[in-house]
């Protein structure tokens, strides 16, 4: 998540989510209303520090410069971002995640250089403005069948009602934004997930 996903202080949202039991965090300051420049960096530092205090892995979305500046645990990139091979050379000891939205992208992906795939959008989402077409849980099963050893995290429109179906389809984890940031009670939402 980023500040644009929160109706209140993102630091508080992150703290509550960690207290409630999330196992990883990705800083994704992107889309309308997102911070940029020094403000993006400063919020990133604060969120990274909260994660460090609680031993929660901190990933950054897409931003190579901030990966180094914030000394993140990992970076997550999309198909049009910096190539994973170059990222691996630049950051040999960080986790690298790659988004995959269809079979064509999967087959063209540099899987040897990534640690996990973010697969989606599984369901329709209004959080990402340029989200591709929803692929459904069947695509998770297909990716897992083709690459059984590649960790897969489902993303896009996942909530407490449908998360189990994503896991049953073969995902190793689920990744959510609004299911936590828009939850009336984060404790309950994360506990239900
Ligand atoms: N990436 P929510 S879907 C950030 O398909 C993101 O790659 C997607 O937000 C992808 O949990 C998405 O609120 C939005 O649907 C996830």
Q: Is 131 in the pocket of ligand 1 (CB under 6 A)?
A: yes
Separation of CA 176 and ligand 1 centre (Å): 7
Buried b (16+ CB within 10 A) or exposed e, 102-139: eeebbeebebeebebbbbbbbbebebbeebeeebebeb
Separation of CA 5 and ligand 1 centre (Å): 11
Separation of CA 127 and ligand 1 centre (Å): 6
Which atom of ligand 1 is nearest the CA belonging to 178? 13
Which of 131, 133, 134, 136 has the most ligand 1 atoms within 8 A of CB, as the residue to mutate? 131
CA distances from 49 to 55, 105, 116, 121 (A): 10, 34, 24, 29
Tokens of 23: 């196992």
From first to last of its 193 residues, what are the pLDDT tens digits of the chain?
999 999 999 999 999 999 999 999 999 999 999 999 999 999 999 999 999 999 999 999 999 999 999 999 999 999 998 899 999 999 999 999 999 999 999 999 999 999 999 999 999 999 998 888 999 999 999 999 999 999 999 999 999 999 999 999 999 999 999 999 999 999 999 999 9
Judge whether 170 and 134 are in contact, CB under 8 Å.
Answer: no
Q: Is 178 in the pocket of ligand 1 (CB under 6 A)?
A: yes
């Amino acid at each position: 998540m980023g500040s644009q996903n929160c109706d209140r202080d993102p630091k508080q949202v992150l703290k509550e989510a960690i207290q409630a039991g999330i196992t990883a965090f990705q800083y994704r300051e992107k889309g309308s209303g997102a911070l940029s420049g020094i403000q993006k960096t400063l919020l990133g530092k604060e969120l990274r520090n909260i994660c460090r205090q609680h031993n929660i892995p901190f990933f950054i979305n897409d931003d190579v410069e901030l990966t180094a500046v914030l000394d993140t645990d990992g970076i997550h990139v999309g198909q049009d971002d910096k190539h994973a091979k170059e990222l691996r050379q630049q950051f040999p000891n960080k986790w690298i995640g790659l988004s995959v939205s269809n079979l064509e992208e999967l087959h063209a992906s540099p899987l040897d250089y990534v640690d996990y795939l973010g697969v989606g959008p599984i369901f329709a989402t209004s959080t990402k403005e340029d989200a591709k077409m929803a692929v459904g849980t069947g695509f998770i099963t297909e990716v897992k069948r083709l690459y059984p050893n590649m960790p897969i995290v489902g993303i896009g429109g996942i909530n407490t009602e449908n998360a189990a179906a994503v896991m049953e389809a073969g995902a190793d984890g689920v990744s959510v934004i609004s299911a936590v940031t828009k939850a009336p009670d984060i404790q309950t939402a994360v506990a239900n997930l």
